[in-house]
Amino acid sequence: MKLQDSVIAITGGGQGLGRAMAEYLAAKGAKLALIDLMEDKLAESVEACKAAGVEAKAYVCNVAKEEDVENTFKAIVDDFGQLNGLINNAGILRDGLMVKYKDGKLEKRMELSQWQSVIDVNLTGVFLCGREAATRMIENGDKGAIINIASISRAGNMGQSNYSAAKAGVSALVPVWAKELARYGIRCMGIAPGFIETEMTASMKPEALEKMTAGIPLKRMGKPEEIASAAAFIFENDYVSGRMIEVDGALRL
Ligand SMILES: NC(=O)c1ccc[n+]([C@@H]2O[C@H](COP(=O)([O-])OP(=O)(O)OC[C@H]3O[C@@H](n4cnc5c(N)ncnc54)[C@H](O)[C@@H]3O)[C@@H](O)[C@H]2O)c1
């Protein structure tokens, strides 16, 4: 698929990896429909894309809310007249051990609300946006691709019951959707990033960052553009589908 003049929706497009992917695809001539909860951040991302000379629009939407998602994808097709791709990127962290004991006494457990909030956004949100994007693409006769952003944590990371389960879930959806949607000319791929330099990692203590980086075989964190270039490759190569691309500097949990 040619990125030039194609329309790509990105959830969580207000900052971090979502913003980086938006700018990277804009530089390749794609038009961007950016979805996020944060209106001000979305406006900045839209301006950054427009500066590359492409059309871009902001959609304030909670990906975990069915009605929001349905209205948003309808609006995207109404606004742009087509939809060729979706990057399911919006995600949150609510880390904590499932159970934590100290000196034989229970200190803390992962609350059901802590579990549910991550499942709602990182798993249900991906389902809702994937379903809606596929529906709109099929009804409009548009071919393209859906990309689910997972994480190295899909293998199971300590302190991340909720996040690891959601990321394993969105990885499992990749071959399911690739098989189900191939007949409509829609491919589905996943990207599992390792540790990437974003707002999230920038706020970590330098000692913690150093320790983490030392454990990565390539001895550095990934750059947002390195995730964005994997996304561009997926859109541009019409024979990749149903698989995960791991962009993690060879780190294994
Ligand atoms: N940064 C990393 O090192 C890293 C590593 C592996 C995976 N990831 C994954 O990449 C994705 C992006 O991560 P990031 O580091 O850019 O995070 P980030 O927190 O910087 O950005 C996430 C964006 O998603 C938006 N968002 C959150 N909940 C939403 C909701 N309910 N509806 C709509 N938008 C919502 C936020 O407002 C934010 O703009 C996430 O899925 C994350 O799990 C990141």
Looking at residue 205, what is its pLDDT? 82
Q: What are the Cα distances from residue 51, in Å, to 28, 140, 199, 225?
A: 12, 29, 22, 17
Mutate to test the pocket of ligand 1, among 116, 127, 200 (most ligand atoms within 8 A of CB): 200
Spatial separation of the C-alpha atoms in residues 252 and 243, rounded to whole Å: 18
- pLDDT one-digit tens code per residue, 161-202: 999 999 999 999 999 999 999 999 999 999 999 999 998 778
Residue 208: pLDDT over 90: no
Looking at residue 152, what is its pLDDT? 97
Distance 16 CA to ligand 1 centre (A): 7
Given the CA of residue 62, which atom of ligand 1 is nearest to it? 32
- Report, as an integer, the average pLDDT of 81-103: 97
Note down the domain range covering 87. Answer: 7-244
Band (pLDDT 50/70/90 cuts) for residue 251 is: very high
125 contacts 63 by C-beta, under 8 angstroms: yes
Distance 192 CA to ligand 1 centre (A): 13
Find out whether the beta carbon of 200 lies less than 6 Å from any atom of ligand 1: yes
Find out whether the beta carbon of 224 lies less than 6 Å from any atom of ligand 1: no
Q: Is residue 253 part of a domain?
A: no
Q: Is residue 164 part of a domain?
A: yes
- Nearest residue (by CA) to ligand 1, atom 18, is 16
Q: Is residue 167 part of a domain?
A: yes
Residue 232: pLDDT over 80: yes
Q: Is residue 252 part of a domain?
A: no
Q: Is residue 96 part of a domain?
A: yes
Given the CA of residue 163, which atom of ligand 1 is nearest to it? 43
Q: Is residue 34 part of a domain?
A: yes
Distance 198 CA to ligand 1 centre (A): 10
Distance 149 CA to ligand 1 centre (A): 9
Looking at residue 229, what is its pLDDT? 98
We report the CATH number of the domain holding residue 81 as 3.40.50.720
Looking at residue 7, what is its pLDDT? 99
Spatial separation of the C-alpha atoms in residues 16 and 94, rounded to whole Å: 17
CA-closest candidate to residue 147, choices 228, 250, 26, 38: 228
Active site residues: 163
Residue 241: pLDDT over 80: yes
Spatial separation of the C-alpha atoms in residues 72 and 135, rounded to whole Å: 13
- pLDDT one-digit tens code per residue, 126-171: 999 999 999 999 999 999 999 999 999 999 999 999 999 999 999 9
- pLDDT one-digit tens code per residue, 5-61: 999 999 999 999 999 999 999 999 999 999 999 999 999 999 999 999 999 999 999
Find out whether the beta carbon of 165 lies less than 6 Å from any atom of ligand 1: no
- pLDDT one-digit tens code per residue, 97-136: 999 999 999 999 999 999 999 999 999 999 999 999 999 9
Q: How many helices (H) and strands (E) does the chain have?
A: 9, 9
Residue 203: pLDDT over 80: no
Band (pLDDT 50/70/90 cuts) for residue 204 is: confident
Band (pLDDT 50/70/90 cuts) for residue 209 is: confident
Distance 12 CA to ligand 1 centre (A): 6
- Report, as an integer, the average pLDDT of 59-71: 98
Backbone φ and ψ of 205, nearest 5°: -65, 140
Given the CA of residue 199, which atom of ligand 1 is nearest to it? 20
Q: Is residue 88 part of a domain?
A: yes
Q: Is residue 142 part of a domain?
A: yes
